[in-house]
Amino acid sequence: MDLILKNGFVVDSANNFEGVADVLIDKGKIVKCAPDIEESADKIIDCSGRTVIPGLCDMHVHFRDPGQTHKEDIITGCEAAAAGGVTAVACMPNTTPPVDNAEVVMYILNKARKAKAKVYPIGCITKGMKGEELCDYEELRKAGCVAVSDDGKPVLNARIMARAMVKAHYAGLRVISHCEDPDIIAGGIMNSGAVSKELGVKGMHRMSEDTQTAREIVMAGDLEMPIHIAHVSTATSMLLVRLGARYGTMVTSETCPHYFTLTDEKLRLRDADYRMNPPLRTEDDVTAITEAVCDGTIDCIVTDHAPHTAEEKADFEKAPNGVVGLETSLAATLTELYHRGKISLRRIVKLMCVNPRRILNIPGGSFSEGEPADIAIFDPNEEWIVDPDKLHSKSHNTCFKGMKLKGRVKMTILNGNVVYEDK
């Protein structure tokens, strides 16, 4: 046997197991997870005092490769992933060129072969993300895509979106919808509310997100087709997802740690590192999103890891939207939800490891025999302060900068090999 992880506190939600156990690994796969395994192995790692979970799957990241590799490339993006305990990422297609044909998919998968995480490309819903002509979903799936999305942009035409939902479903791909009505945004740069008014900057009204979320859920219900709602940020959108799911619509959804941690009060700093799309909202939204994460209405926690350069982020009003998140997502979730007694580790593992893989139909997420040995090992109690300069990502635009987080990734294992170690 190649490796044994001894005496860690294993949380294996998919198998309903939680407790101190050993994990035996051979040839990159899980052989067994049980207390007091007697077999010997070439390498033994003592995990006492640490929590051992399946590697995280972040189903919403933006690696800028191809096209803007000065912000991030597939290799550095996966280094950031490994440092965050993330062993699988699904990367959004708003690259240059966009991922609307097999050739770009093949470029990504080829480059990802040497990366420290598994990369699953998401293809575009429409050619060039123009919202007009559907991509060839059979071609995208055969090339290796696991979902389709025009993330960063909405598909404005409802008829085109309806056709996309049906065609993608029959090609075996989930549609991930970025819910935004740009006519309502009309140049807004932060949540529209008391803070934007005081600052005198143009707001992004919440109905921009809510109207589109409502449309997607209504269409998914009427068509009897699945839909996945990306980065939910408002209380009303949350309610719509809850309602849809309650009445049998095949709706799944995700949110990001910043939406249950921070509010638009942060924007008072006039710092573009707190700007993303959708924007940080209000305390009521944070409460609603937190509830929905904890009660299971939201299926996944993702990062929307969106690297941008310091130069671009220097101008509060002109900077592009987006924040990096891969290296802080587990720690921020532990700090905000677990250490405050709002959520169990089991549910965190469901949200960050099991559900994203189920939605995308990709392997892993448990310690069952034969699963890939993709594992995150963390110290739930270690406190650290987020220093943007210490991130592995090429870009440092984190909205958690300077915050003290509790919970730190100590080691990440991919196919049985250590790809990250916190020393």
Please confirm, yes or no, whether 181 is among the known catalytic residues: no
Q: Which of 151, 254, 264, 336 binds Zn ion (CB under 5 A)?
A: 151
Q: Which of 6, 62, 215, 401 binds ligand DOR (CB under 6 A)?
A: 62
Give the H/E segment covering residue 184. helix 182-185
Of residues 76 and 366, the one with the C-beta less far from ligand DOR: 76
Of residues 90 and 343, the one with the C-beta less far from Zn ion: 90
- Residues touching ligand DOR, count (CB under 6 A): 12
Q: Does residue 321 interact with ligand DOR by CB under 6 A?
A: yes
Of residues 41 and 256, the one with the C-beta less far from Zn ion: 256
d(Cα 239, Cα 206) in Å, to the nearest integer? 13
d(Cα 249, Cα 260) in Å, to the nearest integer? 25
With CB under 6 A as the contact rule, which of the stretches 39-47, 217-225, 243-251, 315-323 interacts with ligand DOR? 315-323
In the window 296-315, what residues touch Zn ion (CB under 5 A)?
A: 304
Rounded to a whole number of angstroms, the minimum distance from the CB of residue 92 to Zn ion is: 5
C-alpha distances in Å from residue 372, one per residue of 115, 300, 414, 415: 16, 21, 8, 6
Please tell me the total number of residues recorded for the chain in this structure: 423
State the DSSP code for 259.
G
Q: How many other CB atoms are there within 10 angstroms of residue 389's CB atom?
A: 6
Tokens of 140: 């995208």
C-alpha distances in Å from residue 257, one per residue of 304, 343, 364, 383: 10, 14, 23, 17
Rounded to a whole number of angstroms, the minimum distance from the CB of residue 347 to ligand DOR is: 26
Q: Which of 50, 118, 141, 178 binds ligand DOR (CB under 6 A)?
A: 178
Q: Which does 355 bind (CB under 5 to 8 A by kind): Zn ion, ligand DOR, none?
A: none
Q: Which of 152, 193, 203, 372 binds ligand DOR (CB under 6 A)?
A: 152
Of residues 51 and 263, the one with the C-beta less far from ligand DOR: 263
CB 257 within 8 A of CB 332: yes
Q: Which of 304, 315, 389, 422 is catalytic?
A: 304
Rounded to a whole number of angstroms, the minimum distance from the CB of residue 92 to ligand DOR is: 7
Rounded to a whole number of angstroms, the minimum distance from the CB of residue 164 to ligand DOR is: 18
Distance of alpha carbon 279 from the chain centroid: 16
At 229, give phi and psi (nearest 5°): -90, 120
With CB under 6 A as the contact rule, which of the stretches 127-135, 294-302, 316-324, 344-352 interacts with ligand DOR? 316-324
- Count helices and strands in the chain by DSSP H and E runs: 13, 18
Q: Which of 196, 261, 277, 329 binds ligand DOR (CB under 6 A)?
A: 277
Q: Does residue 257 interact with ligand DOR by CB under 6 A?
A: no
Q: Does residue 396 interact with ligand DOR by CB under 6 A?
A: no
Of residues 10 and 56, the one with the C-beta less far from Zn ion: 56
Q: What is the 3-state secondary structure (H, E, C) of 26-84?
A: ECCEEEEEECCCCCCCCEEEECCCCEEEECEEEEEECCCCCCCCCCCCHHHHHHHHHHC
Residue type, 1: M
Rounded to a whole number of angstroms, the minimum distance from the CB of residue 278 to ligand DOR is: 7
Q: Does residue 61 interact with ligand DOR by CB under 6 A?
A: no
Distance of alpha carbon 244 from the chain centroid: 22
Q: Which does 276 bind (CB under 5 to 8 A by kind): Zn ion, ligand DOR, none?
A: ligand DOR
Residue whose C-alpha is closest to residue 57's, from 323, 295, 384, 329:
329
C-alpha distances in Å from residue 349, one per residue of 197, 204, 209: 39, 33, 28
CB 103 within 8 A of CB 72: no
Q: Does residue 344 interact with ligand DOR by CB under 6 A?
A: no
Residue ranges in contact with Zn ion by CB under 5 A: 151, 304
Residue ranges in contact with ligand DOR by CB under 6 A: 62, 94, 151-152, 178, 276-277, 304, 306, 320-322
Residues serving a catalytic function are 304
